[in-house]
Amino acid sequence: MNPRRWWEELVYATFIASGVPKHELDPKFDQLFDSLYMRFTSDLGYSKFHDSIDCLKELQRHNIYTGVISNSDERLTDVLKSLKLTPYLDFVLPSYRAGFEKPDKEIFDQALRLVGTPIKPEEALHVGDDINTDYRGTFYDRDTKPLSDSFKNNNPIYRGTTGWMERHITRTKYLIFISFV
């Protein structure tokens, strides 16, 4: 089943489960789903942090590779393009293309290989917001630790404070993974 069909079935089942009568939903569903699906194929369905581009530019200035790993489908690249983020990324790896989802170690290993230069896992930093999908695959059973706790409100990566990179990313010379969705 392709991703669009999977989402279509999920959205339909969600409307039915929430009590929308089938006879009311069916005549309107195709148009409703098309609109919803297209919204989440562009920047209309997402937003970026106000300082995202500045942060990515700074990483480029320091010759640090950056990429996005996501448990997402083929729309991810279009979304990132519409958010004007792709010029600052070295790769985008949706699970749909990788054949593995986070936290499977293989998706992170594929990301390391996508850079095209040998990078060890301990030379990479993964920024994410979910302990199970973003932490386990990258760091579990490896000789590296996350540099910050993304579950705290005062996490500097979300505040975009000046000086954060100099204080925290100096140990990560080569690659930063950014989780999306």
63 or 83: which carries more pLDDT confidence? 83
Q: Report the predicted TM-score, pTM, of the whole model to 2 decimal places.
A: 0.73
Which of 115, 151, 122 has its CA nearest to residue 134? 151
Q: Determine the pLDDT at residue 13.
A: 97
Does the pLDDT at position 53 exceed 50? yes
Distance spanning both ends of the chain, measured CA to CA: 21
Domain boundaries, the chain: 3-39, 52-179
pLDDT tier, 138 (very low <50, low <70, confident <90, very high otherwise): low
Mean pLDDT score across all residues of the chain? 79
**φ and ψ at 36, to 5 degrees?**
-65, -45
**CA dist., res. 137 & res. 139, Å (int):** 6
Q: Determine the pLDDT at residue 180.
A: 54
pLDDT tier, 152 (very low <50, low <70, confident <90, very high otherwise): very low
Q: Which CATH architecture has domain 52-179?
A: 3-Layer(aba) Sandwich (3.40)
Q: Convert the pLDDT of each residue in 79-99 to its tens digit.
A: 999 999 999 999 999 999 999
Which helix (H) or strand (E) segment is 28 a member of? helix 22-39
Q: Determine the pLDDT at residue 47.
A: 87
